[in-house]
Homo-oligomer: A and B are copies of this chain.
């Protein structure tokens, strides 16, 4: 068996999320079905993170073990041919050590959340960004974001379905950048809780709208109470942008 690391881009719109589900299509299922068709063996594909329904991947990292003799380039080409018409593409493929694990070896994960801040509805970006009609103050959002940086108990920003043992995480980056009517929020950490990025973005949007002061983000964090969450941002604007090892 040879272990291959994959870098995967996917459009989350038609999927129930990364993880295989009994009730609908998943990115994992699309990849495992393609790998099975190529190798004739059942193949398990493990990812750096399990994204929710409607969340996208620009550079998800994953791995799989393949018995058949095949070069990384041929495996990438064959997967891309078999993945059609699913909006999933393998951008890179390499051989890695047998103990390299996309999830457990991962030292850092990053996300980007895209907001289109305008009155008009989205056209080609529908499902690929969060359209917010109220004018957002990105300076206030950045001030609110500063309260979340560092090591904290993120219970307020954690889904009730989160399976992590501890609510403590260390947030290394949470930046807010406006370019015209687009606002990008970039987050990086060793790992995130379930819904953490969308929950943080939702609170920052409350600040941007002027409904919350920046300090209230810190108060919500300190409360360690999910009921204090302002708003959970929709999955549409969330992109998994990378994992480091």
- Asked if A162 is an interface residue, CB under 8 A from chain B, the answer is no
Give the docked Cα–Cα distance between A10 and B121 (Å). 11
Indicate how many identical chains form the complex.
2
Q: Footprint of B on A, CB under 8 Å?
A: 9-11, 13, 56, 76-77, 80, 83-84, 87-91, 118-124, 126, 128
> Shortest CB–CB separation between residue A167 and chain B, in angstroms?
32
**CB nearest to A56 among chain B residues:** B124
Q: Flag if A123 contacts B76 (CB, 8 Å).
A: no
Return chain B residues, CB-CB under 8 Å to A124: 9, 11, 13, 56, 87, 128
Return chain B residues, CB-CB under 8 Å to A122: 87, 89
Give the docked Cα–Cα distance between A222 and B49 (Å). 55
**CB nearest to A131 among chain B residues:** B89
Give the docked Cα–Cα distance between A123 and B10 (Å). 6
Q: Flag if B77 contacts A91 (CB, 8 Å).
A: no
Q: Flag if B10 contacts A80 (CB, 8 Å).
A: no
Contact of A121 among B56, B89, B119, B128 (CB under 8 A): B89
Q: Flag if A89 contacts B11 (CB, 8 Å).
A: no
Q: Flag if B118 contacts A91 (CB, 8 Å).
A: yes
Give the docked Cα–Cα distance between A5 and B218 (Å). 45
Q: Flag if A87 contacts B128 (CB, 8 Å).
A: no
> Shortest CB–CB separation between residue A127 and chain B, in angstroms?
8
Give the docked Cα–Cα distance between A12 and B122 (Å). 13
Q: Flag if B88 contacts A123 (CB, 8 Å).
A: yes
> Shortest CB–CB separation between residue A51 and chain B, in angstroms?
13
Return chain B residues, CB-CB under 8 Å to A128: 124
**CB nearest to A87 among chain B residues:** B123
> Shortest CB–CB separation between residue A109 and chain B, in angstroms?
20
Return chain B residues, CB-CB under 8 Å to A56: 124
Give the docked Cα–Cα distance between A88 and B122 (Å). 8
> Shortest CB–CB separation between residue A90 and chain B, in angstroms?
6
